[in-house]
Chain A
């Protein structure tokens, strides 16, 4: 965006950038340093010794996978439908879905615990997967719809000339083209489902169903609050997220670039 000619300007720009981004690194450094207090790397061993780290990771994985699956399927189909197909009262449906964006998670708690009780879903992963997915969908459907709008109609017409029905059009033409936005949707959904805190806290009771976000609880008793181990746990939770993001970075950016929000 900027045209930088002279060396002096280049250097200034680089320094400005550095000054702007260093504050973002500070909390990360604090987190790492804090986790090394007291017993140093033994804190990580202590967190591992609780024996629950693999189980909690597995549970978070299951939940995230479930949410991503639901969100992907619904976003792709609904995004396609809204963008390309004819629907009676389309905007009403869409607007109703968007309004759901305004809902804070907190409000879901009471109604859902009564309902899940009656449907015997309590203490099952579904109790977390379903609400988390429902909260993601308004935004992801919006993203998918915008992306689909950008796909030229000619491609679909060409397919229909070849005798394809709607489903084939979707499967063979549209879907492969949506890879970029799919990456964005997957990364965003992964972040939100890996990080959910309230829903697992309240809806998952069994010790073997807890998620990684509840790992710090282990070190927060009534009269104990072991900061060093809490931070070590925090670092352990953060690492997988960062790795996944780094791996999917290119695709994520492409998806957002391809006219995500106009």
Chain B
């Protein structure tokens, strides 16, 4: 039997049954939680009482006038910007270097990616030790007689910076792998041509390689903003949001308010705002990206 319009036929097959199970599963669990959270945000409840009091929007107004809430948002923004720049800069450069003939490339690749594999829960005690006066860094500074005290987790400003270093350590691997992959796809002939035209290494990198990795950069930006908003493990396990909320993030604040202090309704309200911010952020980046492609 001959079939007409073969090219169209293939895509006319109904794909609904193929995506439905995955869809129901993901949406079921996650959207159920989201709606449940919407409901929770209008309550004043501690999770155990049989009585739940409805308080309307007051949890939201409370959040907007809560200095810790705004501090958490400020921390998130600062965190996102700095880690995004450093992480992706390093990932990009390392990917470029490792696409060149260097010795021990595999060892370096592993060293960069292994941090991404290890659980934050596992590494938190290591970092607390490392950045304390009892850690390796202090030993190194002492041997070099540098007179610096490694107490950076105790001061509000440096504490946030240390967490950013930890985040960069953990996620550069991801950024590296993606850039490495994107670079493998670049047309070698194009690079050759630009070299023949006399472009040096850095010119080539900036004008040819970087634009070709744009897709990766955009994806990393979106993942970055969502990741920054979701940040929980690192600040919670290393500094528990301290000292004095200097490293408080929305995720840690939600956890502390909801689970440790049993203000479930308030925590839910902050969660709702977090979701709104995340979706707005993603849409914004998407629009900016589309805007560029004119």
Contact = CB atoms under 8 A, between A and B. Distances in A.
B252 to A, nearest CB: 9
B119 interface: yes
Interface string B1-36: 001001101111111111101110111111111101
Contact of A111 (B36, B110, B183, B278): B36
The number of chain A residues touching the other chain, given as a range, is: 35 or more
B136 A104 contact: no
B164 interface: no
A227 B134 CA distance: 12
Given A1-B99, A82-B15, A157-B6, A234 B123 contact: yes
Contacts of B29: 108, 112, 130-131, 134
B178 A104 contact: no
Interface residues of B, number: 106
Interface stretch (A38-46, A48-56, A61-69, A190-198): A190-198
B19 A87 contact: yes
Interface string A10-47: 00011011001101111111110110000000000000
B6 A4 contact: no
B73 interface: no
A153 B122 CA distance: 45
B183 A110 contact: no
Contact of A100 (B26, B122, B172, B184): B26
Contacts of B193: none
A125 interface: no
A109 B119 contact: no
A24 B271 CA distance: 33
A112 B27 CA distance: 14
A262 interface: yes
A2 B98 CA distance: 9
A81 B18 contact: yes
B22 A75 contact: yes
Contacts of B33: 103, 107-108, 111-112
A148 B94 CA distance: 29
Contacts of A230: 125
B117 A242 contact: yes
A123 B18 CA distance: 31
A134 B25 contact: yes
Nearest to A191: B117
A110 B232 contact: no
Nearest to A23: B169
Contacts of B21: 74, 77-78
Nearest to A102: B278
B259 A227 contact: no
A2 B172 contact: no
Nearest to B1: A163
A167 B125 CA distance: 50
B97 A87 contact: no
Interface of B: 3, 6-7, 9-19, 21-23, 25-34, 36-37, 40, 47, 90, 93-103, 108-123, 125-127, 129-130, 135-137, 169, 172, 177-178, 180-185, 191, 195, 201, 204-205, 209, 215-216, 219, 226, 229-230, 232-233, 250-251, 254-255, 258-259, 264, 267-268, 271, 274-275, 278-279, 282
16 contacts: A1-B204, A3-B201, A17-B102, A34-B129, A74-B21, A75-B22, A82-B15, A99-B279, A110-B40, A138-B26, A141-B26, A191-B117, A230-B125, A231-B126, A256-B180, A256-B181
Interface of A: 1-4, 13-14, 16-17, 20-21, 23-31, 33-34, 70, 74-75, 77-78, 80-82, 84-88, 90, 93, 96-97, 99-112, 114-115, 130-131, 133-135, 137-138, 141, 153, 156-157, 160-161, 166, 191, 194-195, 197, 213, 216, 227, 230-231, 234, 237-238, 241-242, 245-246, 249, 252-253, 256-262
Given A24-B111, A81-B18, A195-B118, 4 more contacts: A24-B169, A101-B226, A107-B274, A157-B6
